[in-house]
Structure 1
Amino acid sequence: MANYTLEEKDSFVVLGFGTDLKSDYTDYMGINQEKADFWNTVNEDGTLDKLKTVAENESVFIVNEAVNNKMMHYVGVLTKETLPDATRVIQFPQGEYVVVKGEAETAEVLHETLTGMAFGEALPAAQDVAYVGGPNTSVEMGQRDGKVFGEMWIPVVRK
């Protein structure tokens, strides 16, 4: 079972660059491949480095959001600034969040692990709350002992 906490968070804004995931929402292998391809692109073409120049802190946000009936996937940072070619300013609501902590060898594996733990274990175990949509994010917070550590944040409401 995934260990999780319920935490109150203030609203926050993530500036991101994103991609429209084309795979069916039940095609986990296809979705994961699209996300991996996107992650490789933003690391290689300088997009992530560009975002970090306007970031308020060291955290990198990997956001999933449904927009206009499309599954969107973003890499972003906390900032009050903007970049002319950024894809989206993503608003996260004030309220309770299911938070799952973890660590992994790479940022990509961290994101996949946290997503699986959060949606496969923590949310089903969180009996008093429900995820009703909206953006969710894994947050890469840094490195220690050769591993990437971070958290998954999913906004929830009381049942």
Structure 2
Amino acid sequence: MADYTLERKDSFTVTGIGVELKSDYTDFAGINEEKAAFWQTISEDGKLENLKKLASNDYIFAVNEAVNNKMMHYAGVMTDTSVPEASRVIQFPEGEYLVVKGKAATADELHTTLTGITFGQVLPEAKDFAYVGGPNTTVEMGHQNGLVFGEMWIPVVRK
């Protein structure tokens, strides 16, 4: 099984710019293409850079959340500032989180790899805890030795 930890986290809020994902939730290739296109668009139009300027830390969040029966994906930051173009303020609950660490050549590769490990390996093999929904996120935490490093955070409950 992949390396992971369970960590207790205080509740936190991420302010994000989002997009509805139209692919079926089992179409991982389609979902990944939609996410990559979204990140490319907000990088090119300056929205991601504007969001980063308002952040209270260096973390960039890629959040997945079901909202009104729609699969949503957000680029977000922690901030105390109002973000005019933000489409959602996402509340993460206090509690235990599954944390999977990783590094990759690009932020997109980091998100894809961590999501695959978490949902493809760790959660299916977990015996003592389960993901029961709610927002989940990959967190881009920085760069080191030419690689992007970060973590995936998923709220879980003990079985």
- State the TM-score, normalized to the length of structure 2: 0.98
Distance apart, 1:72 and its partner CA: 0.1
Kindly report which structure 2 residues correspond to 1:14-53, keeping only aligned pairs within 5 A, or say none: 14-53=14-53
Alignment RMSD (CA, Å): 0.8
Aligned to 2:130: 130
Aligned to 1:102: 102
Distance apart, 1:158 and its partner CA: 1.2
* Percent of matched pairs sharing the same residue: 68
Distance apart, 1:126 and its partner CA: 2.6
Which amino acid is the alignment partner of residue 67 of structure 1?
V
Q: Give the gaps of 5 or more residues in structure 1.
A: none
Q: Give the gaps of 5 or more residues in structure 2.
A: none
Contact 1:13 1:80 in 2 (8 A): no
Aligned to 2:89: 89
Runs of 4+ in 1 over 4 A off after TM superposition: none
- State the TM-score, normalized to the length of structure 1: 0.98
Distance apart, 1:81 and its partner CA: 1.7
Q: C-alpha distance in 2, partners of 1:30/1:121?
A: 20
Which amino acid is the alignment partner of residue 71 of structure 1?
M
Q: C-alpha distance in 1, partners of 2:111/2:93?
A: 21
2:80 is equivalent to residue 80 of structure 1: yes
Aligned to 2:114: 114
SS at match of 2:156: strand
